[in-house]
Structure 1
């Protein structure tokens, strides 16, 4: 009897391990707007849902780092759901306070951009299995807005 249970357990775990899972990638990080207290950037994340049913996104956690320190972080609760058997574009707004940009003056002064590392964790609710986390990380450069960008 125990051999039968072991075989059944192995069969189920193998099937679960080989199931398709949602996949995501950061497609773009761009300047969005300037406010009195911060500059807002927008990260666009493409999330592919292989299932025939929409999947709810529980939350999105993000962290933006530059020069080895965190300059922005946040949590977006309940940002929507993923379309069934399709790729959904999810927007992740990231606000960077002006005071932090001033402390990064050496990096900014050289080429008017910020070298960054953006870490995003999408937490998706998979039926039967529960919450499933998709960690993403991207590095690159974000251009700071010019005077023309602020008034365009």
Structure 2
């Protein structure tokens, strides 16, 4: 009897391991808005859902680092769901206060941008498996707004 249970466990775990899962990629980070409170950027995430039904997104968590320091962390709860059999584009707003930008003066003074590393976790609710987090990361440069960006 225990051999039958063991075989059943192995069969199920093999099927779950080989099951198609949604795939995601971080396609970029761009300037969204400049205000007196801070600068807002949008992280663009593309998610491909291989299933014939929509999948709910539980949350998106993010960590924005610059020069080895964490400058922003947060979570975006319940951002919607993934389209069935297709790609879904998600925008994750990242609002960086001006006070944080002031602490990055050395990096900014060199070339008027912020060298960043963005770590993002997309948590979805898969049938049978449960909550599943897709880890994403990207490195690049964030161009800072100039005076003319404030007067657009």
TM-score of the alignment, normalized to the shorter chain, above 0.5: yes
Aligned to 1:141: 141
Kindly state the Cα deviation for residue 129 of structure 1 after the two structures are TM-superposed.
1.7
Kindly state the Cα deviation for residue 3 of structure 1 after the two structures are TM-superposed.
2.0
8 Å Cα contact 2:35/2:150 also seen in 1: no
CA distance in 2, matches of 1:36, 1:129: 44
1:42-78 CA-to-partner distances (Å, cap 9, x unmatched) read 0000011111110000111111010111111111111
Aligned to 1:132: 132
1:39-78 paired onto structure 2 within 5 Å:
39-78=39-78
8 Å Cα contact 1:22/1:48 also seen in 2: yes
CA distance in 1, matches of 2:93, 2:55: 21
Aligned pairs, how many?
152
Aligned partner of residue 21 in structure 1, secondary structure: coil
Aligned to 2:98: 98
Aligned to 1:109: 109
Kindly state the Cα deviation for residue 10 of structure 1 after the two structures are TM-superposed.
1.0
**TM-score, normalised with respect to structure 1:** 0.96
Aligned to 1:20: 20
8 Å Cα contact 1:33/1:150 also seen in 2: no
CA distance in 2, matches of 1:125, 1:46: 17
Aligned partner of residue 12 in structure 1, secondary structure: helix
CA distance in 1, matches of 2:33, 2:23: 29
Which segments of 5 or more consecutive residues in structure 2 lack a partner in the other structure? none
Aligned partner of residue 16 in structure 1, secondary structure: helix
- The alignment's C-alpha RMSD in Å is 0.9
